[in-house]
Structure 1
Amino acid sequence: MQTFFGSVWWLIVSLGLLVTFHEFGHFWVARRCGVRVLRFSVGFGRPLWKRVGRDGVEYVVAALPLGGYVRMLDEREGEVAPEERDFAFNRKPVWKRIAIVAAGPGANLVLCVALLWAMFAVGKPDYLPLVGRAEGIAAEAGFEPGDRILRIGQTPVPTWTDAGLALVTAAMDRRDVAVEVRAAAGGTAIRDLELSRIPEGVEERRLLSEIGLVRQQLLLPATPRAIRADSPAARAGIEAGDRLLRIGDRDVRSWDEIGAAVQAQAADGQALEVEVERGGERRRLWLTPEWYEDDAGGARWILGLDPPQGEAAYDTTLEHGVVDALPAAVAETWRLTRETFGMLARMVDGRASLKNISGPISIAQYANSSAQLGLAWFLNFLALLSLSLAVMNLLPIPVLDGGHLLYYLIELIKGSPLSERAVMAGQYVGLALLAGLMGLAFYNDILRLVVS
């Protein structure tokens, strides 16, 4: 219940901030272009709070915090007194209308830069891009435990988050990449990852597993926190705090290797030799795994070991000085913008799944989890969301800012505005497309909840 209310709260905070900046962009430029603003609303639906300012604008906070709008004087929406027609939006030159419409996404881009500047200035904790284990394609490329990834293609990767995103992006394109590493044995080396070998149809969340790289900090020690009563491990004499070194004929170096070793070697009624370290001494024990079927229909061999608690602490911080943080934020915004448009292109041509489209449920969950990770991670989340809002609004879909910009571009080319009939037809098409996108986003959200 606490997670639910936390998610709702951080969703309201996030969208409230981003929508306010977006609408303020429209508002500010409209006023400077001589357009009379009638209402500035954050949210849709029934007003929860409103007042009329000294400037004559009605300021509103409405009940549904999933958007907002700026209502301007416009002859297409009602009768305008003759003495006020010069202040109507529709009477302004096309370049002013373009500036007013583009100002919303522009404000979100500026906000993205500001948030990333704050993130870099505060310092975002993360994990070093250290390889803990290499399997499959990565092992064949020569990766070894302890390798530190320096560069993927031409992109420097100071953290594991950067490395993971770069690898998954290349894997979606099935594009081979050269990875520069500082080898565990010393010196630098180039490892060529043949990502074109990844089979088609692999889900994106499994691409990193298909590559075969596991970060070092994920490798918890093979030391159980507790032993379940009347379990195979308890009957064999394994104790909490013992470090497992070997199961059957497989060496065990980390907790996640225990399950794989057991599933690969266990058989009904067959005992496995287990080597453990206890108090600095090595001991050999024998245990017989049990077959277990859970309520969800899954089945596996178990030993009765509880995993060690916690997760490895962050071991690096992505941080710049207050001055240096600004160019870093601009560069990061440019990089994220390229990647966002690249992801849209991949979804259009089928290289990326439409499951990547998220709705308010997923946004609320991401907002809550990033807020729990600390200020820098929350600033990073807000920056990504602000950029996404800017890009989404620039899509050439009628009813969105990008659709209006498309109308004005056509007007510039043909020398006159589109007919009211054409505009209305476009609005209906835009509403249908927007409803479809929202439906897909909600479907993906619900599917994630069911699967998880």
Structure 2
Amino acid sequence: MLEFLWTVASFVIALGILVAVHEWGHFWVARRCGVKVEKFSIGFGKALWKRTDKLGTEYVVAAIPLGGYVKMLDERVDEVAEEDLPYAFNRQHVLKRIAIVAAGPIVNFLFAIFALFIMYLIGLETVKPVVADIKPESVFSQSNISKNAIITQVGDRKVADWEDVNYELISHIGKDVMNIKWTEANHVIERSTVVNIEAWQFDPDKGSPIASLGLVPFRPAVSKIIGYVQPDSAADAIGLRPNDKILRLDGTTMENWEQIVGYVSSRANQFVKVDVLRGGETVRLEGSIGQKEVEGIVKGYMGFTPTFEAWPAGMLFTHQYGVVDAVTKAMDKTWRMMTLSVEMLGKLLTGDVSVKNLSGPIAIAQGAGMSASSGLVYFLGFLALISVNLGIINLLPLPVLDGGHLLYFVIELFSGRPVPESVQEIGFKVGGVLLLLLMSIAIFNDIARL
């Protein structure tokens, strides 16, 4: 229950920040263009808090935190007093209207740069992309990448960690080949290979791009020492505690963590005797193994997780920079997220990327909860990613989105007259249906992944 509440709270905070940023962009530029703003609302429904400034703008925080809006004076929506006509949105030059509408997505991109800038100032600990192994008969099994190789470049872009690698692998979906560069453990000689990826089939529900290609990232060995015991689990009922080292199950010596997992998973609901090393002494515990359904199959489940051995020296490093380098790094990262988002939308239209890749509010809420649990720097990275995606989606040429309004205004700019209202009305209806369809698919995907 606490985890659910934390996820909901993180989602509300993230959404509130991003909506406020987006709408503030419209608001700020509208004010500078001489448009009267009647209301700036974060959320919908009943007002929880509101106040009015000296220029007559009402600021509102509403009960339903699923969006927001800026209401400007506009003859197309309400009657406008004659003395206020010069301040109406629809009376502004088309270039001003373009600036006001484009400001929302643009500020989303600027906010992403700001969030990443703060993240890089604080410092983000990450892991070098070291390949522990390559799975036999996988796409990458045809390459000559050696074990313990450090990937340095994918395609045309340098990579520093596994997140960079993941982004660049995704960008190659639908292509025939992939260029990879890496160094051996001594970091002296950079080697390269061209991998044929025509047979690559990526399903986001079955794993990451890294795993689907057969790459096995280096991870410290798993120990037999328990790191966490889930409350009210079978392990908790038996009496297992963090720092217990599992020695034997039913008298059988456990050589490694994989053997422990295999033993437990094949004995759902069975009685078990557990010998652990606790405080230098061997302790015998007894109880029943629980169960968990995985893809329709009932397996044994205890509810504990292991600890890991220490990372080798030099494997971990921190993305932390001074002010100038942090700005440069944040701008580069934001630009890459923007271009990758556009690439994915294009591949969605061509069929290279399945609609199964679409994610909706449930997935975003889960991401907000997990990133917030991991710490401020991870939450900032999450906000940057979602802010970029929000900006890109709003620029789609669907009439219900900012991009649709911009399309109409650009047509007006070149034709010299507004798009007829009858045409705009049809566009709004078609755009609304398409947007509803995309959201329905995304939510369906979210539910299927639960």
Q: TM-score of the superposition, structure 1-length normalised?
A: 0.81
Report the equivalent of 1:417.
418
Give the number of aligned pairs. 403
Determine the C-alpha separation between the residues in 2 that align with 1:307 and 1:122.
Answer: 29
Report the equivalent of 1:163.
165
2:418 equivalent to 1:398: no
Determine the C-alpha separation between the residues in 2 that align with 1:295 and 1:106.
Answer: 45
Q: CA deviation at 1:203?
A: 5.0
Q: CA deviation at 1:413?
A: 2.4
Report the equivalent of 1:89.
89
Q: CA deviation at 1:298?
A: 3.1
Amino acid paired to 2:103: A
SS at match of 2:68: strand
Q: CA deviation at 1:68?
A: 0.9
Report the equivalent of 2:219.
217
Report the equivalent of 1:278.
none
Report the equivalent of 1:51.
51
Query: Cα–Cα, structure 1 residues 423 and 181, in superposed 2: closer, same or farther, change >3 Å?
Result: same
2:65 equivalent to 1:65: yes
Determine the C-alpha separation between the residues in 2 that align with 1:256 and 1:178.
Answer: 34
Q: CA deviation at 1:197?
A: 4.5
Q: CA deviation at 1:89?
A: 0.7
Q: Does the 8 Å CA contact 1:141/1:191 hold for their aligned counterparts?
A: no
SS at match of 2:105: helix
Amino acid paired to 2:39: R
SS at match of 2:197: helix
2:318 equivalent to 1:298: no
Q: CA deviation at 1:199?
A: 4.6
Q: CA deviation at 1:379?
A: 0.7
Q: TM-score of the superposition, structure 2-length normalised?
A: 0.81
Deviations 1:64-108 (A, max 9, x none): 212111111111112111111111111111001001101111111
Q: CA deviation at 1:259?
A: 8.1
Report the equivalent of 1:134.
134
SS at match of 2:222: coil
Report the equivalent of 1:351.
352
Matches within 5 A, 1:142-221: 142-170=144-172, 172-184=173-185, 187-200=188-201, 202=203, 205-206=206-207, 207-217=209-219, 219-220=221-222
Which deviates more, 134-143 or 37-46?
A: 134-143
Determine the C-alpha separation between the residues in 1 that align with 2:166 and 2:391.
Answer: 25
Report the equivalent of 1:361.
362
Determine the C-alpha separation between the residues in 2 that align with 1:168 and 1:218.
Answer: 26
Q: CA deviation at 1:447?
A: 1.0
Query: Cα–Cα, structure 1 residues 344 and 119, in superposed 2: closer, same or farther, change >3 Å?
Result: same
Which deviates more, 352-361 or 105-114?
A: 352-361
SS at match of 1:39: strand
Amino acid paired to 1:95: L
Q: CA deviation at 1:200?
A: 4.4
CA RMSD of aligned residues (A): 3.2
Query: Cα–Cα, structure 1 residues 44 and 11, in superposed 2: closer, same or farther, change >3 Å?
Result: same
Amino acid paired to 2:297: G
Determine the C-alpha separation between the residues in 2 that align with 1:311 and 1:105.
Answer: 44
Q: Does the 8 Å CA contact 2:73/2:89 hold for their aligned counterparts?
A: yes
Gaps of 5+ in 2: 227-244, 266-290
Q: CA deviation at 1:15?
A: 0.9
Deviations 1:380-426 (A, max 9, x none): 10001111111111010112110100111111222111222222222
Determine the C-alpha separation between the residues in 2 that align with 1:317 and 1:42.
Answer: 36
Determine the C-alpha separation between the residues in 2 that align with 1:344 and 1:257.
Answer: 43
Q: CA deviation at 1:310?
A: 4.9
Determine the C-alpha separation between the residues in 2 that align with 1:311 and 1:18.
Answer: 39
Matches within 5 A, 1:9-28: 9-28=9-28
SS at match of 1:418: coil
Q: Does the 8 Å CA contact 1:131/1:145 hold for their aligned counterparts?
A: yes
Determine the C-alpha separation between the residues in 1 that align with 2:382 and 2:211.
Answer: 25
Q: In percent, how many aligned pairs have the same letter?
A: 40
Q: Does the 8 Å CA contact 2:224/2:307 hold for their aligned counterparts?
A: no
Amino acid paired to 2:132: G
Query: Cα–Cα, structure 1 residues 17 and 104, in superposed 2: closer, same or farther, change >3 Å?
Result: same
Determine the C-alpha separation between the residues in 1 that align with 2:126 and 2:48.
Answer: 40
Query: Cα–Cα, structure 1 residues 218 and 343, in superposed 2: closer, same or farther, change >3 Å?
Result: farther
Determine the C-alpha separation between the residues in 1 that align with 2:220 and 2:398.
Answer: 43
Q: Does the 8 Å CA contact 2:178/2:197 hold for their aligned counterparts?
A: no
Q: Does the 8 Å CA contact 2:38/2:58 hold for their aligned counterparts?
A: yes
SS at match of 2:390: helix
2:415 equivalent to 1:389: no
Q: Does the 8 Å CA contact 2:205/2:449 hold for their aligned counterparts?
A: no
Deviations 1:290-311 (A, max 9, x none): xxx97554389x9x9x874358
Amino acid paired to 1:400: L
Q: CA deviation at 1:12?
A: 1.1
Report the equivalent of 1:309.
307
Query: Cα–Cα, structure 1 residues 123 and 30, in superposed 2: closer, same or farther, change >3 Å?
Result: same
Determine the C-alpha separation between the residues in 1 that align with 2:431 and 2:11.
Answer: 26
Q: CA deviation at 1:208?
A: 2.4
Determine the C-alpha separation between the residues in 2 that align with 1:202 and 1:399.
Answer: 31
Determine the C-alpha separation between the residues in 2 that align with 1:190 and 1:101.
Answer: 48
Deviations 1:172-209 (A, max 9, x none): 22432222212136632424252425354755744422
Determine the C-alpha separation between the residues in 2 that align with 1:138 and 1:439.
Answer: 35
Report the equivalent of 1:324.
325
2:118 equivalent to 1:118: yes
Amino acid paired to 2:213: I
Q: CA deviation at 1:228?
A: 6.0
Query: Cα–Cα, structure 1 residues 201 and 59, in superposed 2: closer, same or farther, change >3 Å?
Result: closer
